[in-house]
Amino acid sequence: MAKKDKKIKPKKMEIKKSVKAVKTVAKEKVVKEKEGATERGKKSFSLLRGMHDILPKDEKYWKPMFASAQNIAAHFQFGRLETPILEELGLFVRAVGKGTDVVDKEMYTFEDKDGTKVCMRPELTAAAARAYIMHGFSNLPQPVKLWYWGPMFRHDRPQAGRYRQFHQAGYEIFGQADSAADAELILVGVNFFRDLGLPVEVKINSIGTPAERANYKNELVNYYRSKRSYLCEECRNRLVKNPMRLLDCKEERCQPVKEEAPQIINWLGADSKNHFMKVLEYLDELGVPYQLDNTLVRGLNYYTHTVFEFYAAEGGEEGQQSALGGGGRYDLLVEELGGRPTPAAGMAIGLERTVLALKQYNDKNNREMPKTPVDAFIAQLGEEARRVTLKMVDQLRNSDIKISFNFFKTSLKTQLELADAIKAPFAVIIGQKEVQDGTAIIRDMESGIQEIVDQKKLITVLKRKLGKFDDKR
Ligand code: HAM
């Protein structure tokens, strides 16, 4: 001990050496940290920019969204379509169109090993049209209604509600020219948000046929040229590249110019006007409120006639600024992609944006997402009871009784507190005595009243208490 405490003076050379060693270690640490290495020397990884994980804490949003998307699809008779994430690049270039942000700036593209130019799908309408043609769906009774759910990829500038990988639920109707299809798709969207308890607004416009749009575009360009000096940089580019998108500009300085701009409705022919009026009549009939918005043009080139978008009716700035979903009619797309002329319409909902809007709406209104209901909590006391209850969990689940349990908790009090926290109406308690007697205690969590039942009758009794029909009775 005494020896250790003795101060030993290091020689000058040794001091120099150790200072150098410390500096080297520090330098290596900085380099490793820059490379994402942890203290223990292994590199740790983070997400790529614009990508995100969907965590269990958000399941309360994702689960009901999928349930709603699926139920609505069944109700309106849409068949599920799944397409690959990778498609030929040319498909989206031709469908979505040059001059759009998606094609010009945002696609994840690369050359495959065989030299094929591929891209990660930025949306699914083009892929749905490709599938419709490829699988000969035009020979089926029309309309052919397809729905999808999955990730899309756009190399956009990330911000709240805007990701590089995001998810959409979408619905497409092929082979129906009638305005009823446009109205049905809006109804599908409204129903989706209604199921989630999120109030939304529908904005709607008609952009007519390409010929009508070409005449309108000339007028629009002439008008905007005369106001060029008032425009933002982006709008000056749009003036040359994609004049319809001038109407989409959110920049403060362009708003007065936009307000005075010619309106497309005045360039529509009788047929286009008639189609649009009928869509509005259907919506009136269905009691779906909408706002006419003559600046709504959408960012993809395949649209004809009706275009629409869904916005959160209340919520934060993000909710108001960016659409939760959108769609419209695209009567020329199937032919453009090499198929027979086929009228079609569709829409897609942005799921990350819906989650964001739901969070904002719930916060503002002190609302919570409805929890998935649990029918009963199974509490166990002791090793033997745990074995019995594990089997019971399986039997109850197979009998369509939603149960919850936690085998890591051993105290009855803690387990009943858990049952209370998840609002289980009943707790089933199995202790040492119940294992020996072949019985179970059913506790009504609200009144605290307990009843002892034979384990063999547990399912029947629980079902009766839960008001579920038991066909074995
Ligand atoms: P879209 O307007 O490009 O239309 O996208 C639909 C929705 O996807 C948007 O309203 C938005 O909620 C969400 N979304 C788009 N980009 C992002 C992003 N970078 N991050 C997060 N969410 C995003 C289409 O994709 C068309 N295919 C819709 C359609 C179907 N039209 C006819 N049929």
Any idea which residue has 């939603």 for tokens? 402
Q: How far apart are CA 233 and CA 247, in angstroms?
A: 14
* For ligand 1, mutation pick of 48, 123, 146, 185 (most atoms within 8 Å of CB): 123
Q: Does 398 reside within a domain?
A: yes
Residue 85 to residues 72, 91, 158, 285, Cα–Cα distance (Å): 24, 13, 21, 39
pLDDT tens, 191-243? 999 999 999 999 999 999 999 999 999 999 999 999 999 999 999 998 988 89
Q: 293 and 349 share a domain?
A: yes
Q: Does 32 reside within a domain?
A: no
Q: 392 and 351 share a domain?
A: no
Taking CA atoms only, the protein residue closest to ligand 1 atom 8 is: 350
Q: Which atom from ligand 1 is nearest to the alpha carbon of 124?
A: 27
Q: How many other C-beta atoms can be found within 10 angstroms of the C-beta atom of residue 324?
A: 26
Residue 472 to residues 51, 422, 452, Cα–Cα distance (Å): 50, 29, 21
Distance 121 CA to ligand 1 centre (A): 12
Distance 326 CA to ligand 1 centre (A): 6
Q: Does 27 reside within a domain?
A: no
**What is the phi/psi pair of residue 320, to 5°?**
-75, -35
Taking CA atoms only, the protein residue closest to ligand 1 atom 31 is: 327
Q: Does 141 reside within a domain?
A: yes
Is-contact 112 119, C-beta < 8 A?
Answer: no
Distance 122 CA to ligand 1 centre (A): 9
Q: Which atom from ligand 1 is nearest to the alpha carbon of 126?
A: 27
Q: 199 and 69 share a domain?
A: yes
Taking CA atoms only, the protein residue closest to ligand 1 atom 14 is: 350
Any idea which residue has 């094609």 for tokens? 103
| Strand ranges (E), 122-281 | 144-153, 165-174, 200-206
Any idea how long the chain is? 473
Q: 309 and 357 share a domain?
A: yes
Q: 296 and 394 share a domain?
A: no
CA-based nearest residue to 303, from 217, 247, 244, 262:
244
Write out residues in the chain with pLDDT < 50, as ranges: 1-8, 318-320, 472-473
Q: Which atom from ligand 1 is nearest to the alpha carbon of 324?
A: 12
Q: How far apart are CA 406 and CA 473, in angstroms?
A: 30
User: 10: helix, coil or strand?
Assistant: coil
Q: 355 and 405 share a domain?
A: no
Distance 124 CA to ligand 1 centre (A): 9
Taking CA atoms only, the protein residue closest to ligand 1 atom 30 is: 347
Q: How far apart are CA 147 and CA 124, in angstroms?
A: 10
* For ligand 1, mutation pick of 54, 83, 124, 166 (most atoms within 8 Å of CB): 166
Q: How far apart are CA 278 and CA 345, in angstroms?
A: 15
Q: 296 and 357 share a domain?
A: yes
CA-based nearest residue to 357, from 322, 402, 389, 329:
322
Q: 298 and 446 share a domain?
A: no
Q: 293 and 410 share a domain?
A: no
Q: Does 224 reside within a domain?
A: no
Q: 149 and 83 share a domain?
A: yes
CA-based nearest residue to 465, from 428, 438, 434:
428
Residue 265 to residues 288, 295, 391, Cα–Cα distance (Å): 21, 10, 67
Q: Does 2 reside within a domain?
A: no
Q: How far apart are CA 257 and CA 274, in angstroms?
A: 29
Q: What is the dihedral of CA 139, 144, 148, 152, to 10 degrees?
A: 70
| H or E stretch covering 350 | strand 344-350
**CA angle centred on 407, ends 406 and 412, rounded to 5°:** 75
Domain end, chosen from 331, 365, 399, is at 365
Domain that holds residue 77: 56-208+268-365
Distance 155 CA to ligand 1 centre (A): 13
Q: Does 43 reside within a domain?
A: no
Residue 315 confidence (pLDDT): 60
Taking CA atoms only, the protein residue closest to ligand 1 atom 11 is: 350
| H or E stretch covering 190 | helix 179-196
Number of compact structural domains in the chain: 2
Distance 384 CA to ligand 1 centre (A): 54
Distance 102 CA to ligand 1 centre (A): 10
Residue 410 confidence (pLDDT): 84
Distance 325 CA to ligand 1 centre (A): 6
Task: Ligand 1: list residues with CB < 6 Å.
Answer: 123, 125, 154, 156, 161-163, 166, 168, 170, 172, 299-300, 323-328, 346-348, 350, 352-353
Q: Which atom from ligand 1 is nearest to the alpha carbon of 323?
A: 10
Token pair for 473: 């009775």
Q: What is the dihedral of CA 182, 183, 185, 189, to 10 degrees?
A: 140
Domain end, chosen from 317, 342, 365, is at 365
CA-based nearest residue to 100, from 50, 154, 49:
154
Q: 290 and 163 share a domain?
A: yes
Q: Does 89 reside within a domain?
A: yes
Q: Which atom from ligand 1 is nearest to the alpha carbon of 163?
A: 20
Domain end, chosen from 302, 336, 365, is at 365
Is-contact 449 443, C-beta < 8 A?
Answer: yes
Residue 386 confidence (pLDDT): 92
Cis amide bond preceding 262, omega within 30:
no
Distance 166 CA to ligand 1 centre (A): 9
Looking at the chain, the number of H-run helices and the number of E-run strands are 18, 16
On the 0-12 / 13-18 / 19+ scale of CB atoms within 10 A, 302 is: buried
Q: 279 and 410 share a domain?
A: no
On the 0-12 / 13-18 / 19+ scale of CB atoms within 10 A, 431 is: middle
CA-based nearest residue to 280, from 135, 403, 182:
182
Distance 443 CA to ligand 1 centre (A): 49
Sign of CA dihedral 389, 392, 398, 399: negative
Distance 456 CA to ligand 1 centre (A): 53
CATH number at residue 390: 3.40.50.800
CATH number at residue 183: 3.30.930.10
